[in-house]
Structure 1
């Protein structure tokens, strides 16, 4: 997403991931969010939508 600094995007994405995985260390979730940021398709989305999109296969299982 343009105009959103990477650090804020990553933090917001990690926060959304934590809503799914309460017991995972927040620093580990930041690492996952950082990896998601590197995906151009996900980076173009708002961070919460990117997290939901990435989680979709897990939540459908």
Structure 2
């Protein structure tokens, strides 16, 4: 005698309606706004200026 366990996992590709609902669902991870890169660029620019100033003072 073979005993089968109930299957609780529903496959979204099980039928056409479920698959379409799965594909048309909004992707919440892609909707997140990306943070601004301005502070990073400003920090790198300031570091370059400081290094150039130190090098100029060391060679003068």
TM-score scaled to structure 1, two decimals? 0.24
Q: Answer 1 or 2: which has greater helix percent.
A: 1
Give the number of the structure with larger relative contact order, counting CA–CA contacts within 8 Å between residues 6 or more apart: 1
